[in-house]
């Protein structure tokens, strides 16, 4: 198991290196930050001086190497636009995004699995068919449209929930949380539904189809022939087998939730890293963009690592180092 | 003679479909007594598994029992639904399936699966269930049962897995075991071991066994009595020795003649002309008459007689002297 984890960590590091290289090389084509920073009134010397100051006069490999060695020490440079260290800005913004992603991720996983199991067990029931039809909405509507619709209904028409922002936050150390105040929780509802709805319907449909497949297996038939209770068959025997493929997708989807928070954050003006990234793109703020992409890929890779380790606990066939194994 | 454990009377199973209702089991009657192995033999689609599934209440809808009675230890069970039927399964009726590789849940240890079954049916503690699980594994001949109880199914070979399946089917001490092709998926050498195991457990515990198979060799090896099925109906029912050595139904005779014997060397095997009818095209009269060399007008007109023990469902059964 330890050898497996070490191998996966090394693979993950390689993935990060490649992501970093790709991201970094792409930024060379998004535009010249110097243009934005100096405005209309500038001289050739100004441009030259700034390029030198930012290290933009050096060759690409040198720039990338510098970026990597600094990044490894947690230093992502200084934002061109705000003039503050990127790490500081990200740290400030990250709690908002992580809280939003966590809430909508939990919502998507819990409801997705529950609805998936329900629609699989009662596959001919009226309610199950209704949920399945309704889930098409979640799969087919784009995120921003769902957000705008929710704002229209619950903020504009009904006036129940705020349409933008995070509400009041409480500072705990460096972490600013909106989970402890009423207005913070209220502000969280619409964005987390918007962000999690697609993932929820995806997980639900996947759980349903996997579960229907598992329920056809011989060992379920044998479990029935042994007179086990329906609850034990559905939740102990069937659900566990269903989760093996579902967990892979859930892992990818949780990563996607963090990455796709960009759209939701833009719609709801949520002060997280996604909104930061959009602003950075508009301003060609390369250090911020690079740091953001690295952050997202670290999360993706980390989640996948967790998923791989989870497999060990669920599927005994993978525990190859067990005594008596093949 | 003692009261039969299982008694089936005129059992019919129907599957309604758009093109008309088919009857995979049609008016079948037989008994199994305690400690007795009844071999149910027939070609694929003859209705032998379907009858077994009807007994344990695991017919897949829309298949359902359309007529007849099933009695288990003097209680009628064919009309039981839901929870009542579930409590019988595993506790009163155990079932062994064909493929041991897919019969066990790959994610649960065999100890868990055994304990779970016992805890469902018996009023015992977890510790007791674990102790009994080890005993059950020992009984079916798993070496080192105490160490292997926490192993997972993939850590066992096919034959060992079938032993685990049998332990699972027997762990709540049911009075009837339905073994649906229990040896078909196994190597020949392992087959003999599994058959011997079933025979031993049946004898020691006085369990009644319904052994469903298409293998005449398995029948000859294991069964006390045999029920031959053809196109959903019982063709012949009787003592295994009588049926195998002096079959009275032309179909059984054809089956026996087409079973290879080592003593016959390379002689050409007999073949029954034609094929078993599809269930939606079972002919009028005796279902076997189009393939029967002895068929007469009566066979084409009147349905073959429904039979009880020691008889053949034939208007003109082969007399004992005709065979010898």
* DSSP string for A237-280: IIHHHHHHHHHHHHHHHHHHHHHHHHHHHHHHT--SHHHHHHHH
CB pair distance less than 8 Å for A227 and B117? yes
End-to-end CA distance of chain A: 15
Structural Rg of chain B based on CA atoms: 21
Cβ distance A108 to A264 under 8 Å?
no
Cβ atoms within 10 Å, residue B14 = 18
Mean of the per-residue pLDDT values of chain A:
82
Which of A227, A237, A324 faces B87 most closely, judged by CB atoms? A227
Cβ atoms within 10 Å, residue B39 = 27
Backbone angles phi, psi at B267, to 5 degrees: -55, 150
Which of B89, B97, B172 faces A218 most closely, judged by CB atoms? B97
| Percent of chain A clearing pLDDT 90 (strictly above) | 9
Distance CA B130, CA B302 (A): 57
- Take residue B225 and report the two structure tokens written for it: 């009595």
Q: Which of A123, A221, A226, A243 to mutate to test the interface with B (most CBs of B within 10 A)?
A: A226
The residue-averaged pLDDT of A103-113 equals 91
Contacting residues of A for B58, CB less than 8 Å apart: 221, 224-225
Contacting residues of A for B172, CB less than 8 Å apart: 226-227
- The more confident residue out of A283 and A28 is A283
Distance CA B33, CA B206 (A): 9
The residue-averaged pLDDT of A144-158 equals 85
Provide the 8-state DSSP code for A195: H
Structural fold of domain B6-92+174-323 = Rossmann fold (3.40.50)
Per-residue pLDDT at A255: 82
Q: What is the DSSP string of A53-70?
A: HHTTTS-HHHHHHHHHHH
Cβ distance B5 to B174 under 8 Å?
no
Q: Strands across the sheet with B22-32, in order?
A: B22-32, B6-15, B64-72, B75-76
Q: Which domains does chain A have, with CATH numbers?
A: 86-318 (1.10.3720.10)
Distance CA A223, CA A237 (A): 8
Q: What is the pLDDT of residues A56-68, one digit of tens each?
A: 777 778 877 877 7
Confidence band of A28 (pLDDT split at 50, 70, 90): low
Q: Is A175 helix (H, G, I), strand (E, B) or coil?
A: strand
**Quick check: A111 pLDDT over 90?**
yes
Which of B86, B95, B152 faces A316 most closely, judged by CB atoms? B152
What b-and-e string marks burial along B299-320, b requiring 16 or more CB atoms within 10 Å of the CB? beeeebeebeeebbbbbebbee
Instruction: Give residue limits of the domains in chain B.
Output: 6-92+174-323
Number of residue pairs across A and B with CB atoms under 8 Å? 86
Q: What is the pLDDT along chain B (324 residues), one digit of tens a residue?
A: 567 888 888 888 998 888 888 888 888 888 898 889 999 988 887 888 888 899 998 888 888 888 888 988 888 888 888 888 888 888 889 999 888 888 998 888 999 999 999 999 988 899 999 988 998 898 888 888 888 889 999 888 888 898 899 899 888 889 999 999 888 878 888 888 888 888 888 888 889 999 998 888 888 888 899 988 888 888 888 888 888 888 888 888 888 877 777 666 666 777 777 777 777 777 777 778 778 777 777 777 777 776 766 677 777 777 655 443
Distance CA B92, CA B118 (A): 12
Contacting residues of A for B173, CB less than 8 Å apart: none
- The more confident residue out of B113 and A259 is B113
Contacting residues of B for A217, CB less than 8 Å apart: 102
Which of A227, A236, A316 faces B86 most closely, judged by CB atoms? A227
**Quick check: A92 pLDDT over 80?**
yes
Q: Which of B106, B150, B170 to mutate to test the interface with A (most CBs of A within 10 A)?
A: B106
* Chain A: residues touching B (Cβ < 8 Å): 217-219, 221-230, 232, 236-237, 240-241, 244, 314-317, 322, 324-326
* Chain B: residues touching A (Cβ < 8 Å): 56, 58, 86-91, 94-95, 97, 99, 102-109, 116-117, 120-121, 148, 151-152, 154-155, 165, 168-169, 172
The residue-averaged pLDDT of A105-124 equals 90
- Take residue A271 and report the two structure tokens written for it: 């002060």
- Min Cα distance A116 → chain B (Å) is 20
Q: What is the pLDDT of residues A30-63, one digit of tens each?
A: 666 677 677 677 777 877 887 777 777 777 788 7
CB pair distance less than 8 Å for B106 and A241? yes
Contacting residues of A for B88, CB less than 8 Å apart: 227
CB pair distance less than 8 Å for B107 and A315? yes
Q: Which of B181, B49, B168, B53 is nearest to B108 (CA)?
A: B168
- With 0-12 / 13-18 / 19 or more C-beta atoms within 10 angstroms meaning exposed / middle / buried, residue A198 is buried
Per-residue pLDDT at B308: 67
Cβ distance B121 to B91 under 8 Å?
yes
Helix ranges restricted to H, B122-235: 126-139, 145-148, 158-170, 188-205, 216-222
Provide the 8-state DSSP code for A155: I
End-to-end CA distance of chain B: 30
Maximum Cα–Cα distance across chain A: 85
Task: Give, for B156, the enclosing helix (H) or strand (E).
Answer: none
Confidence band of A211 (pLDDT split at 50, 70, 90): very high
Q: What is the pLDDT of residues A213-231, one digit of tens each?
A: 998 888 998 998 998 888 8
Which of B102, B120, B169 faces A229 most closely, judged by CB atoms? B120
- Min Cα distance A318 → chain B (Å) is 10
Q: Strands across the sheet with B311-312, in order?
A: B93-96, B176-180, B208-213, B37-41, B225-230, B233-239, B311-312
Helix ranges restricted to H, chain A: 2-26, 33-38, 44-54, 60-72, 86-121, 126-140, 143-150, 182-215, 218-225, 230-231, 239-268, 273-283, 286-314
Q: Is B14 helix (H, G, I), strand (E, B) or coil?
A: strand
Q: Which of A315, A303, A255, A270 is nearest to A94 (CA)?
A: A270
- Min Cα distance A160 → chain B (Å) is 46
Q: Is A33 helix (H, G, I), strand (E, B) or coil?
A: helix
Contacting residues of A for B87, CB less than 8 Å apart: 227
- Min Cα distance A84 → chain B (Å) is 52
**Quick check: A321 pLDDT over 60?**
no
Task: Give, for B253, the enclosing helix (H) or strand (E).
Answer: helix B250-257
**Quick check: A166 pLDDT over 70?**
yes
Provide the 8-state DSSP code for A159: -
Per-residue pLDDT at B320: 56
Contacts 24+ apart (CB under 8 A), B311-314: B311/B236, B311/B237, B311/B238, B311/B248, B312/B235, B312/B236, B312/B247, B312/B248, B312/B249, B312/B252, B313/B233, B313/B234, B313/B235, B313/B236, B313/B249, B313/B286, B314/B235, B314/B236, B314/B248, B314/B249, B314/B250, B314/B286
Cβ atoms within 10 Å, residue A167 = 16
């Amino acid at each position: 198991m330890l050898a497996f984890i070490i191998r996966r960590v090394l693979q993950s590091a390689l993935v990060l290196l490649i992501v970093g290289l790709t991201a970094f090389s792409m930024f060379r084509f998004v535009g010249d930050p110097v243009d934005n920073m100096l405005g209309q009134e500038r001289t050739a010397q100004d441009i030259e001086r700034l390029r030198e100051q930012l290290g933009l006069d050096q060759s690409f490999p040198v720039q990338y190497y510098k970026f990597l060695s600094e990044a490894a020490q947690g230093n992502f440079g200084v934002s061109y636009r705000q003039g503050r260290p990127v790490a500081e800005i990200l740290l400030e913004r990250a709690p908002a995004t992580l809280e939003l992603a966590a809430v909508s991720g939990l919502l998507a996983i819990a409801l997705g699995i529950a609805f998936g199991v329900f629609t699989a067990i009662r596959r001919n029931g009226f309610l199950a068919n209704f949920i399945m039809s309704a889930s098409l909405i979640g799969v087919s509507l784009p995120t921003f449209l769902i957000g705008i619709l929710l704002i229209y209904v619950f903020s504009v028409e009904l006036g129940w929930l705020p349409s933008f922002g995070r509400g009041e936050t409480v500072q705990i150390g460096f972490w600013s949380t909106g989970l402890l105040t009423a207005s913070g929780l209220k502000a969280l509802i619409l964005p987390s539904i918007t962000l999690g709805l697609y993932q929820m319907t995806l997980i639900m449909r996947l759980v349903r189809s996997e579960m229907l497949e598992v329920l056809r297996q011989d060992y379920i038939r044998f479990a029935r022939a042994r007179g086990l209770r329906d609850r034990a068959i559905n939740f102990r025997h069937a659900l566990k087998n269903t989760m093996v493929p579902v967990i892979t997708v859930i892992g990818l989807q949780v990563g996607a939730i963090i990455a796709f928070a960009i759209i939701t954050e833009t719609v709801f003006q949520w002060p997280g890293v996604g909104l930061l990234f959009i602003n950075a793109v508009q301003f060609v703020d390369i250090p911020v963009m690079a740091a953001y992409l690295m952050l997202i890929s670290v999360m993706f890779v980390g989640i996948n690592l967790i998923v791989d380790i989870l497999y060990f606990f669920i599927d005994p066939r993978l525990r190859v180092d067990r005594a008596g194994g093949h | 003679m003692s009261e039969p454990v299982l008694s089936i009377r005129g059992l019919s199973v129907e599957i309604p479909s758009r093109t008309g209702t088919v009857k995979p089991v049609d008016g079948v009657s037989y008994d199994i007594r305690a400690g007795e192995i009844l071999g149910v033999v027939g070609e694929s689609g003859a209705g032998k598994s379907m009858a077994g599934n009807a007994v344990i209440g695991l017919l897949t809808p829309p298949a359902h029992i359309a007529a007849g009675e099933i009695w288990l230890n003097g209680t009628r069970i064919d009309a039981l639904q839901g929870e009542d039927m579930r409590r019988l399964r595993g506790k009163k009726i155990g079932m062994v399936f064909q493929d041991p590789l897919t019969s066990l849940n790959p994610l649960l240890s065999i100890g868990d699966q055994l304990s779970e079954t016992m805890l469902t049916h018996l009023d015992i503690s977890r510790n007791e269930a674990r102790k009994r699980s080890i005993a059950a594994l020992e009984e079916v001949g798993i070496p080192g049962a105490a160490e292997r109880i926490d192993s997972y199914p993939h850590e066992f070979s096919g034959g060992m897995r079938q032993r685990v399946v049998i332990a699972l089917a027997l762990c709540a001490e049911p009075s009837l075991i339905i073994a649906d092709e229990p040896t078909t998926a196994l190597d020949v050498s392992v087959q003999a071991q599994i058959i011997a195991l079933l025979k031993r457990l049946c004898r020691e515990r006085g369990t009644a066994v319904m052994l469903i198979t298409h293998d005449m060799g398995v029948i000859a090896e294991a069964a006390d009595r045999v029920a031959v099925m053809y196109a959903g109906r019982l063709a012949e029912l009787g003592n295994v020795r009588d049926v195998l050595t002096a079959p009275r139904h032309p179909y059984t005779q054809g089956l026996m003649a087409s079973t290879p014997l080592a003593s016959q060397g390379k002689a050409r095997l007999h073949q029954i002309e034609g094929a078993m009818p599809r269930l939606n095209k079972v002919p009028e009269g005796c279902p076997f008459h189009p393939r029967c060399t002895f068929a007469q007008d009566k066979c084409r007109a009147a349905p073959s007689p429904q039979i009880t023990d020691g008889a053949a469902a034939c208007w003109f059964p082969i007399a004992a002297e005709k065979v010898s």
